[in-house]
Structure 1
Amino acid sequence: MSDRVREVLVVDHIGYRYYRDTDGRPFLPADRNRVRLITDIRKVDQARGDELAAVVGVPRGDGALLDAAALFHHTASGRSLEGVVALSEGLLLTAGGLRDRLGVPGPTEQQVLRYRDKVTMKEHLREHGIRVPDFAPFTEADAERLLRRHGRVVVKPRRGESSADITFLDGADALHRLLASAREDLTGYEVEERIGGRLFHIDSVVRDGVPLAATAGRSVQDTTSYRRLEAFRDVAVGPGRTLDRLLRFNRDVLACYPDFSGVTHLEVFLDDDEVCFCEIGGRPGGGGIIPGFRSRTGVNLDEVTIRAQLGDEIVRPAPPAAHLTGYALVYAPAGRLETDLTPPDADWIIDTQLRFRVGDLMPEPAGWNQAAATVTVRGDTETEVESRLDQVIELLEDRLRGTGRAGGRP
């Protein structure tokens, strides 16, 4: 890229602080970028930095206002936009559509669909010989057909996030209850066979469909544990046959996206017999995946995502370090937070993200990503990582119960 300063539109609803590294270094430095930001109106206070040329806050989910703000940014300065960036899963398609309409380079809406829409991605990968669940866009007839064939199925929003609005069906009666209680038209859903085996994820930095570095993790709980207020644990997979199988499947899947560069988050089911695709995202995974990946490779996945969407060079990360990482999501019941959830200092705690401060009113979690606290740890073995996560969970859940165990090292 030349030294000329470019005009970049950032479409955001998580807050502009995620566009900086932990040391405050901007991912879009002012000497190379003039940033025009559209962000959640509740997070405008995070919009700070010399690179910011203009900021517009819009209510989250208001697509018409977001489109109007993008057009304003595109025309107001007298210089056309040269890039559109989005980190949030729910805004990837929006960013692709804006690139198409404004004539801006980068991933198009059609390209994004292949790793954002659950039906489109499975159709794409099935055509390339990847093992995917038996699936169909949701209709009552297709749900009945898949139930007869497999005995149990899962109904998911095609473009859903964070395991929200997922329903497990184990027979015709369950299907009829779903249809009777559905609060919306289910045409935006898919139905698929429920796969056995454990859920794993592989997170990669990718250049032209080839992983340059990848780590894998194992979900200890299911991703709907938030509905039970049960803490979720995820532990990195150490060297061995399981990791080899996961990385090989990851390479096979990414080869089906030869035009993709950036970051992928692939979820798969694994048992003794096979690896089966679950879903893929063209963005960093949530929870503690970003700090864990950085701890092992020195690379921030958000920064790689931004660079890729702007067509900048994707540099090969260092091979993952020998130590392992893992993270815990601790959920809280609805109510007012009365105790600080910051864990005590420990050299093996590498990151803590708190959703609430003391005194805040906490709603009931409505998705996997709505934890009160997310804590990422490191350890030499999977067993050590899992043990340390258990210590953190016990401490924070005791605080949430008001038992007073708020001191000492976890």
Structure 2
Amino acid sequence: MAQPAWEHDPQPLPLDSAPLPEYGTGSLADLLPTLAAGMDVPGMTAAISELTPADRNCVFLIDGLGWEQLKAHPEDAPFMTSLLASSRGGTGRPLTTGYPATTATSLASVGTGLPPGAHGLPGYTVRNPDTGELMNQLRWQPWTSPGPWQPYPTVFQLAHEAGVHAAQVSSPAFQNTPLTKVALSGGTFHGRLSGEERMDLAAAQLAAGDRSLVYTYYAEVDGAGHRFGVDSDMWRGQLMYVDRLVQRLAEQIPPRTALYVTADHGMVDVPFDEQHRIDFDEDWELRAGVALLGGEGRARHVYAVPGAENDVLTCWREVLGEQFWVASREEAIATGWFGPHIDERVYARIGDVVAAARDDVLIIASEREPKESAMVGNHGSMTPAEQLVPLLEVRS
């Protein structure tokens, strides 16, 4: 006999069922150190063993293009799809982004070669222990001194010091942002508005050195996914466009170059109803004992009123435990969500409670976060749709 709904006793998801990022062997943080090690940059380790060294390396990061989304749309991305099967002298495999699967965290992992627990950008918004305020690490608001927040050198800086020609080719708007400073600076920055200009200049920068490390970036696949969803006509149009950009760059790379196409996260479309969008601002149980709500809809940092930490953890597990992995800060750290080690300065930036979505659900905050709460496509958690990103290779 079926159990009556009113007698249902929800069982929290076991934390060991969350698919952890492959830190140290196959995460975004391992990519640039592997490439730099192949160019003899001191202190770098080739963690992704199957990548063959090259004198010139280019990373093209497409914001929001997950591995599963790419594989689901072969007709819209024929060139990148061809790389999945190694038919053009390259290879294709997924990487894991690291947790959370969000832009600021992933870009810092790419540029520093460190997992979030070390570089210290462990979420979309996190508490600044010095001020007690939430800090948006993508927009860098409120402003915080970048150096102390993320003190490690980037791989580009280390490569430049080792005599490698290092360059970033991106939108001019990103040149002087704190996120660029802490995550992607080193060598020279070249701002170009159009995707075609970026591809052409990236190829030229590769040719500018006998050893080169070049990064380029395209944002609008992510933007279309957030606004319209990852199977919308607008999103598919952006995928078609960026596929042509990849081909344009691949056809121009100079000799002795390895081009790697990757992304910072995938994406999940979440239906607009109360079952799939749980509104923190209207849920008294979830709000009880909570001082600050950080992170984003699928990867929440929850900061409790002092003394209420255990009560908040118990409540969040009871309310959300069948749809979210809900961990205390200590459990999330011990399980390895943020990497194998946590720097002391990063510890209190992580929520007292950390909630990562398994199902196609969100914890929105309609009053606090009206824009984020209205997005169709979302990301942040550890599901394959969000966590897996492509690593496509073209060599010359």
TM-score, reference length from structure 2: 0.30
Q: What is the TM-score with the length of structure 1 in the denominator?
A: 0.29
Which structure exhibits the higher relative contact order, with contacts defined as CA atoms closer than 8 Å and separated by 6 or more residues? 2
Greater strand share, structure number? 1
